[in-house]
Amino acid sequence: MVATCLHLAGVVCSFVGWIGVIVATSTNDWVVTCGYTITTCRKMDELGSKGLWADCVMATGLYHCKPLVDILILPGYVQACRALMIAASVLGLPAIFLLITVLPCIRMGHEPGAAKYRRSQLGGILIILLAMCGVVATIWFPVCAHRETTIMSFGYSLYTGWIGSALCLFGGCVIVCCSGDAQTFGENRFYYGSGSSSPTHAKSAHV
């Protein structure tokens, strides 16, 4: 029962973290930059916002973005972070699907617990890979951006990416390490006949 609860907690954390990674990938408020000195920018009330897909200018009553569409002139770190975040977002699809299919409320025929355990482990490993891609991208981007311009603060997209990656890393580790083993995975589920004492009829009940 404890292993089942830990597994469910890992799945929930992984799903929420994956959503956070997608939000971070699709938004552009990664770092808030300043083209002049910090004092000048504060007096002019004009700041910049840099992300994976656009560079934006924020001023009083103005928010203008210039899309970064010319791949040939983009800095290498921007292209690499794009690839990592896209890979993380895509990895979440099969990972979450695998984790949903091993939930206690889902049965796929008369499948043994060992098969569910293997799918659970594979899903957990994919979630950890997703988290590592997000961690590398969200750390690499502000470090390299700081070398190009003055960073005044981190944007909400970067915080979302950090939180999402951390949740995925935690959830994936819980799924891989705390879900029991192949022999005991699913042993806490017994099946009783509905109106019959035959063990071949199934109705799920936890003990």
Q: For the segment 73-96, what is each residue's pLDDT rounded down to a tens digit?
A: 888 899 999 999 999 999 999 999
54 inside domain? no
Is 3 a residue whose pLDDT tops 80?
A: no
Rounded mean pLDDT, 132-153: 88
Read off the pTM: 0.79
164 inside domain? yes
CA distance 76 to 74: 6
Q: What is the extent of the structural domain holding 14?
A: 1-28+70-183
CA distance 49 to 34: 9
38 inside domain? no
CB-facing half-sphere around the CA of 59: CA atoms within 13 A: 10
H-helix segments, the chain: 2-26, 38-44, 76-101, 113-148, 156-177
CA distance 179 to 121: 9
Higher pLDDT, 10 or 103: 10
41 inside domain? no
- The tokens describing 1, both together, are 């029962």
Residue 66, number of CB atoms within 10 A of its CB: 9
Do the bridges between strand 150-154 and strand 62-67 make them parallel or antiparallel, or are there none, so unpaired?
unpaired
204 inside domain? no
Question: What is the count of structural domains for the chain?
Answer: 1
Place of tokens 């997000």: 134
114 inside domain? yes
Q: For the segment 146-186, what is each residue's pLDDT rounded down to a tens digit?
A: 888 777 788 899 999 999 999 999 999 998 887 666 555 55
46 inside domain? no
- Strand (E) or helix (H) holding 188: none
120 inside domain? yes
Q: Which CATH number goes with the domain that contains 159?
A: 1.20.140.150
CA distance 138 to 141: 6
Q: How far apart are the first and last CA of the chain?
A: 7
Q: In one letter, which amino acid is 140?
A: W
